Structure formats: C-alpha cells, structure tokens
Chains A and B, each alone.
Chain A
Amino acid sequence: MKFIAEIDIMPLKELLDPQGKAIKLGLQNLGITQVEEVRMGKHISLTLEAETEAEARQKVETACKKLLANLIVEDFSYTIASV
C-alpha cells in the first residue's frame, strides 16, 4: 500500500526562533500589528510504500528521529493517510 505522511517540524517552544522573530517584524511593517508570536518550522511530505499503516508509521518515526528533525532543538508531528 502507498501512504502519504505530512510531517511538521518545529523549533522547541523554549528556544528563541530568530526566523519567527524576523517574520513578525515583517508582518508589523505590513501593518498587521496584532500578531503576538510567529514560529517557523518545516513541512515535509513523504510518499512511501508499506504493508500496513503501522509499518508506515514506524518508518516515518524513524525518519523523523534519525534525520528529518534534530530532537535537541526540534520536535515533530505528522498525519498519515493511505492513497
């Protein structure tokens, strides 16, 4: 079966996110001053083959923990669906 995993990787809450800060500044310059906080991460979409959804989840977890996210400074979440 084919699955698509939609993965979000975000900087940990306790860390300063300079990209988010810069974007917030840009938004203020645009006139949108009500924005309290901006945090920026990455979105990665994986299409993969697996026998079951459980197997697909396991592969996605491994991919996230070993390569896609650096768990010292980032966390990840994902949704998975068969196609």
Chain B
Amino acid sequence: MKFGVIIFPGSNCDEDMIYVLSHTLQQNVVKLWHKSQDLQNCDCIVLPGGFSYGDYLRSGAIARFSPIMQEVIQFAQRGGYVFGICNGFQILTEAGLLPGVLLHNQQRKFICKNVYIKAVHNKSVFSQKFHLNQAYKVPIAHSEGNYYAPAHVLEEMQANGQILFQYCNANAEVTQEANPNGSLLNIAGICNKQGNVFGMMPHPERAASNILRNTDGLTFFESILQIAYA
C-alpha cells in the first residue's frame, strides 16, 4: 500500500508514523507537505500527531485550511481512506470529516501515559484485526482529547457503529476510572458514517516496535493493511 503522511508546521509524530509504516510494515510511504495539493496517488492519507500551527485558536482549526486539506476532503468524499492520530484526529473534526470536537481534558492537564483501549466492534476497516473484549495498551499524549458531540449526534454514531475504540481498564471494562480525559462514552476513536475516515487520540505508532517493548498498536496497522487484500 502507498501511504501519504501529511506534515503541517508543528507536526511532531510524522517521523514515528513514517518509521512504523515504512520500516516495521515495509510499506511505501511518501511525505506530503501541507502546502502541496498533490496526494501522489496514495491509497491512504495519514494526519500525524503534533501541534499544527502551535494549536493556536483551537487544535487543528488552522491546519484544516491548509491547501492540502482541500484535497484530503475531496479524497475522503470520494471514499479514500484517511486516518488521523491525536492532532490529526482534531484536524479531521475541524475539517468536518468526523463528527464532534475534542475539548480540553476535563482536568486541564496535559496527559502523557499508557492507557488501555478496546474495540467496540471489529467490522470496520480500522478495527478488523482487534479481538473483542481485549484491552490494548497504547499511549496517549494530549491536552485536548476530551471527545464531545451533541446527544443526537452521539446517538446517530452509536446506531451507525461509528464508535470504534473506548478507553477501558486492563480487563477491558469500560469504566469511569479508565476514562483519562472526560470523553463522552469513554470515546478514544471514531469513524465517519461511510467508514473510510478515522480518528483516534491514542498513538498506536508509539506502540508498534519491539524495541519500545509494546507492540499492541501494531494491531491497528495490521487492520489497515487488510485494505490491500480486500
């Protein structure tokens, strides 16, 4: 598969993502500068984590108007696969490609730690290799990861199976204590109605190498690679 990792001014997880995709998974990866308007025929576009435009105004709000994002929006509307991690998730919500918004963490702290997530179902491209009722350890590192959407939007998302990952404890139980940031329904990752755009706050690219002693995040990438065999 050919992946395009978009680099905004202030992106800082781009190299980690590129390393996992190209080195660990042996995929074709190109870097896409935010001022470019050419997606270079990629099969999947990746918005990495970081602090695009210094998180000024709101996280992701300014990056959303970068020239390349107009191409990404059209690509997604044509059914192209797009996923965003952390700041990438924030940009996708600001761009209107994913519902809802990521508010400041309830306790107003930057949280950097390992958390557990579980797949709500594995019928999505982005969760298909996950075992149900299993907790996966993946780190988070954010100030604005508190997922919010109005009640009627949440209901629609639930009905459409758009909630893909929830924060849970080590026993894969979705509890209040396991919610690190105040997200509604412990939401850690969601997709759009069509199922081709996905965003999550945890960083699977930071948990996908033996040298880091945690490869739980690989399951996410293994899910996406199934696209190539579909």
| Residues on A facing B (Cβ under 8 Å) | 15-16, 18-19, 22, 42, 67-68, 70, 72-73
Main secondary structure of the interface of A (DSSP, over half): mixed
Question: Which B-chain residue is minimally distant from A72 (CB atoms)?
Answer: B101
Q: B108 and A72: CB pair below 8 A?
A: no
Most chain B beta-carbon contacts within 10 A, residue among A19, A68, A73: A73
Q: A70 and B94: CB pair below 8 A?
A: yes
Q: A72 and B150: CB pair below 8 A?
A: yes
Question: Which A-chain residue is minimally distant from B108 (CB atoms)?
Answer: A18
Q: B65 and A67: CB pair below 8 A?
A: yes
Among A15, A18, A67, contact of B61 (Cβ-Cβ < 8 Å): A67
Given contacts A70-B94, A72-B150, A73-B148, contact A18 B104 (CB under 8 A): yes
Q: A18 and B106: CB pair below 8 A?
A: yes
Among B58, B62, B65, B108, contact of A70 (Cβ-Cβ < 8 Å): B58
Q: A18 and B107: CB pair below 8 A?
A: yes
B80 touches A (CB below 8 Å): no
B1 touches A (CB below 8 Å): no
Q: A19 and B104: CB pair below 8 A?
A: yes
Q: Given the complex of chains A and B, what is the CA–CA distance between A19 and B103 in angstroms?
A: 11
Give the 6 A-B CB pairs with smallest separation, nearest first.
Answer: A18-B108, A72-B101, A73-B101, A18-B104, A70-B101, A22-B108
Given contacts A67-B57, A67-B61, A67-B65, contact A72 B148 (CB under 8 A): yes
